[in-house]
Amino acid sequence: MKQTLLLLLVVFTTHSFSQQRCGTTERTEHLLQNNKDFTIAKQKVNTETQKWIEKNPNFSSKTIITIPVVVHVVYKTTVQNISVNQIMSQFDVLNRDFRKLNIDTINTPSVWKQIAADCEIEFCLATTDPNGNSTTGITRTQTSTTSFGMQGDDMKSTSDGGVDGWPSDDYLNIWICNLDNLLGYSTVPTSWNDPDDGVVIGYQYFGDMGVVQYPYNKGRTATHEIGHWLNLEHVWGTGWSGCGDDYVNDTPTQEYENYGCPSFPEAPNSCNTNNPNGDMFMNYMDYTNDACMNMFTLGQKTRM
C-alpha cells in the first residue's frame, strides 16, 4: 500500500512539475465554467462551423490566406529577449508546416499520406501598425515580472507587466515571455470578443534556433497553438475525458495524448473503434516531441 502511494506520488509529481505542453484546454474549460457568454458563443461557432463543413465537404480555397502577425516579446532577462533570427525561424516553420512543405512529411505513415494537407495558410510579420505607420511586426517590452502564468493573461496587458495586443480583427497577436511550467496556450475562436485574443509561447519554444530547448526545439508549439487559434481541438477531443470528438472526421478517435516519439501503430483500437492504425500521434494537435510531428489532415484544414 505504501509502495503504491509512493509510486502514485512520483507519477503525480513528475507530471505536475514537468513542462505542460499546452494550456489551451485548461483556459477554455475555465471560461466555459465561468462565462456564460463565452459558452454560448463557442457553441454557436462550433455549430456554424459544422454546418459549413457539411456544405463544403471537399473544400479547397484555391487562394493562399496570409495572416499578418505581431510578435510581442516581453522579457526580464536578455536571454528572454529573443533575436530577430529566432523569431524569423518560427515563421519559416509555420510557412512550411501549414503548406505541407516540411521535409519530415516523409515520416507520415503511408496510410495517412493521402490526407496530409497543404492548409494554404501562410504567416508574415505585420508591416503596418494600428496607427498606419510602418513596423517590423515585433514589439519589445522589458518587464519586472519573473515568470507569467495563464491566470490573468498578464503578458497581454501593459498595466499588468506585459504589453497590450493590437486589434485582433487585423492581426494575430503572439506574445513571447517566460511562461511558468508551460510551453504555450491560445484563445479559441468564438463570436464572443475575447479581449485577450491571441497565442502565448514560452521564449524557449519559439522558432527552431537561438535559445530553444529540446525536445520542443522545432517550432511546433506555435504550429499547435495557432491550430487552436484557427479552431482545431486536440486529436483526442475536447477536455480530458478521452475518446472524445475533435469534430474532424479523418483524424482517428484516440484515447489519450501522446508524449515523446511513439512508433506506428500506437494504441490500435484503443477506443473500441475499428481503427487498426491507432493514434495519429504525428498530428500537430497531439503532444508528441516537435521532431515527431509532421501533419495536419484535410479535415483539419477544412475546419480551419
22 binds, among Ca ion, Zn ion, none (CB under 5 to 8 A by kind): Zn ion
24 binds, among Zn ion, Ca ion, none (CB under 5 to 8 A by kind): Zn ion
- How far is CA 13 from each of CA 8, 18, 279, rounded to the nearest angstrom? 8, 8, 26
- Residue number, 197 or 246, with CB nearest to Ca ion: 246
Q: Return d(Cα 221, Cα 218) in angstroms, integer.
A: 8
Q: Return d(Cα 48, Cα 169) in angstroms, integer.
A: 19
- Residue number, 21 or 210, with CB nearest to Zn ion: 21
Furthest C-alpha separation in the chain? 67
Catalytic residue among 120, 225, 233, 257: 225
How open is the CA angle 103-90-14, to the nearest 5 degrees?
90
Contacting range for Zn ion; rule: CB under 5 A; set: 17-25, 68-76, 262-270, 273-281? 17-25
302 binds, among Ca ion, Zn ion, none (CB under 5 to 8 A by kind): none
Handedness of CA 60, 64, 65, 69 (dihedral sign): positive
Contacting range for Ca ion; rule: CB under 5 A; set: 223-231, 247-255, 266-274, 275-283? 247-255
**3-state SS assignment for residue 94:** helix
- Residue 225 a catalytic site member: yes
- All three cell numbers of 122, joined, read 501562410
Residue among 5, 20, 24, 150 that touches Zn ion (CB under 5 A): 24
DSSP H or E stretch at residue 299: helix 298-303
Q: How far is the CB of 25 from Zn ion (least distance, A)?
A: 6
Residue among 196, 246, 279, 286 that touches Ca ion (CB under 5 A): 246
* Footprint on residues 248-267 left by Ca ion (CB under 5 A): 248, 251
Q: How far is the CB of 251 from Ca ion (least distance, A)?
A: 4
Is there binding between residue 22 and Zn ion (CB under 5 A)? yes
- Give phi and psi for 51, each to the nearest 5: -60, -45
Q: How far is the CB of 253 from Ca ion (least distance, A)?
A: 6
Q: Shortest CA distance to 251 belongs to which of 286, 217, 223, 227?
A: 286
* Contact residues: Zn ion, CB under 5 A: 22, 24
- What residues are labeled active site? 225
